[in-house]
Structure 1
Amino acid sequence: MSGGGSTGADAGERVREVARGARDSTVFHVLARVGFAASGLVQVLLGALAIQLGVNHFADADQSGAMEQLAQLPGGVVLLWVSVVGLFSLGAWLVIEAAAMRGGKPSVLWARRLQNVGKALAYAALALTALGVAQGHHDDASSSTRVMSVHILALPGGAALLVLVGLAIVGIGGYLVVKGVRRRFLRDIDVPELTGMATVVSVLGVVGYIAKGFVLAVAGVLFVVAAVTVHPDAASGLYGAFASLLTLPLGNVLLIATGSGLIASGAYNALRAWIARF
């Protein structure tokens, strides 16, 4: 038994060594930085669409809408293809980073690994959206979310599962808000001390993380509402979250402020592409 356990441990260590070698690759680092920059650009465009929705109540304010806006820029299609490569690479790097992690309490280690895998899935989903738009296929993100909700509700115990999905999204949103308020994002980057850049990055990070967390939390609440009311149209992703803000008192102001926060988040990610810690 001990021999088998030792062999398993040795195999696990070999996997981690291979993962660390890939993680430390210069090519992977460059591509991951491209992914951060692409994510930042999408967030800036998404924030601009949210502001447009707040001003005139008309905008395709979701990930696919942001990609469509990107495609319309000069050289936008090229930027889309670069974004696809960068976002997929960033997702792959996060998975490899998760595999290379070691040390600490097992529960904390696995929590960190799952966090990386969750981020990787989010970047992969964004990459697939960019890929679809680059190929000329417009896939409305809010419609896709509603279709997914229909399928989940059709499963045995689907309503409970959709509630769990919504609560998980709310939890992620809350985590991002806390990360912004406590400035934990500074662990991910290298910023020279006592410089103007340090202040700029800190402000953009705080505002950006709070805005992202707030939007995700609202989107998560909509999933819960869809499950409780058995009404999948309520689960409409980011566009639904933005639209729901318009129904609140001073909703326009709140939506414009949220859009501005997403632009700050995008600017932070663009800077992170330059100063990210690997």
Structure 2
Amino acid sequence: MNASDTAEQAHESDWLDHAIRAGLVAYGVVHLLIAWLAIQLALGEKADSASNSGAMQYLAEQPLGGVLVWLVAVGMFLLVVWRLLEFAFGYRDESDETKRWRKRATSLGKAVIYGAIGWSAVQTATGSGGGKGGGTGSTTAKLMQLPGGQLIVGAVGIAIIAYGGSLVYRGWTEKFREHLDAQGQSGTDGSAYVKLGKAGYIAKGISIALVGGLFGYAAITHDPKKSGGLDQALQTVLEQPFGQVLLIAIGLGIACYGVFCFARAKHLSR
């Protein structure tokens, strides 16, 4: 049996289901932490950043925080393995080749996202995080310096907005139901899971689209300081009329997504 056969066998194995469930629990924890920090921001507490890195830092400061951060990192990297196997061997029953490769590309993109969160957790656990001096703004500045950099930053913004919009669409149409087995969609519990998923996908999609909007604004104004991550996007929401109410609503929605991750882990369908 060659390496390819072994990897394909791993993709179909029961152990991968257990690994995915562990990863989804970790992913849910990350979203609950981000939701808590967003709500704290809305209530006037600005000590922590409402972002992936901020969530890791907040978790590290709790009792046994170092161990918990490492567990989150392991969970995220398990999800990376899943998505990479899915990219390589998944969707073979899809007859439309274009659609099949689009789904595989989506899996690869998700592997990158999970990997970034996992790497953030590792940096926090080892104390090697870059702090608040760098971040999205400095990255955008470097992109701006490239030939056609303004267009590149604008394209990144559009891609992020499109991804956020796709999450809103999946939430509104309840396409996320495919991630739950039949039991997870039926009865009182199933109804609750679907409502959590709907609120969670829509709220997460809106927050990500706001990040894309910041990139777009940075491209239009040619000012990299206008770009930002999730924390800056949520701060922008807070500065709007009724911003406190809107930010609390987004925070609660992100929390719903976190709880839905737990439901998905329990009723996994892939």
TM-score by length of 1: 0.90
Is 1:104 the equivalent of 2:95?
A: yes
The structural deviation recorded for 1:35 is 1.2
Tell me which residue corresponds to 1:129.
Answer: 120
CA distance in 2, matches of 1:248, 1:118: 32
Contact 1:209 1:265 in 2 (8 A): yes
The structural deviation recorded for 1:38 is 0.7
SS in 2 for 1:56: coil
Tell me which residue corresponds to 1:155.
Answer: 146
Is 1:44 the equivalent of 2:32?
A: yes
My pick for the range that moved more, 65-74 or 239-248, is 65-74
The structural deviation recorded for 1:57 is 5.1
Aligned-partner residue type, residue 95 of structure 1: L
Identity of aligned residues (%): 35
My pick for the range that moved more, 187-196 or 205-214, is 187-196
The structural deviation recorded for 1:65 is 1.0
* Matched length: 265
CA distance in 2, matches of 1:21, 1:243: 46
The structural deviation recorded for 1:24 is 2.0
Unaligned runs of 5+ in 2: none
My pick for the range that moved more, 132-141 or 178-187, is 132-141
Is 1:179 the equivalent of 2:170?
A: yes
Q: 1:95 aligns with which of 64, 84, 87?
A: 84
Tell me which residue corresponds to 2:20.
Answer: 32
Runs of 4+ deviating beyond 4 Å: none
My pick for the range that moved more, 254-263 or 26-35, is 26-35
Tell me which residue corresponds to 2:66.
Answer: 77
The structural deviation recorded for 1:136 is 1.7
Unaligned runs of 5+ in 1: 1-10
Aligned-partner residue type, residue 53 of structure 2: S
- Per-residue CA deviation, residues 8-67 of structure 1 (Å, 9 max, x unaligned), is xxx9xx94x544311123333222211111111010010010011111151421111111
CA distance in 1, matches of 2:62, 2:266: 23
- Per-residue CA deviation, residues 245-271 of structure 1 (Å, 9 max, x unaligned), is 012110110001000101111111122
Change (3 A) 1:140 1:237: farther
Q: What is the aligned-residue RMSD (CA, Å)? A: 1.8
Change (3 A) 1:170 1:144: same
- Per-residue CA deviation, residues 195-237 of structure 1 (Å, 9 max, x unaligned), is 2210111011000000110000000010011111111111111
Tell me which residue corresponds to 1:272.
Answer: 264
Tell me which residue corresponds to 2:213.
Answer: 221
Aligned-partner residue type, residue 130 of structure 2: D
- Per-residue CA deviation, residues 173-208 of structure 1 (Å, 9 max, x unaligned), is 000000001111110121415422101110110000
SS in 2 for 1:208: helix
The structural deviation recorded for 1:140 is 4.4
Aligned-partner residue type, residue 242 of structure 1: L
TM-score by length of 2: 0.93
SS in 2 for 1:248: coil
The structural deviation recorded for 1:130 is 0.5
My pick for the range that moved more, 125-134 or 182-191, is 182-191
Is 1:255 the equivalent of 2:247?
A: yes
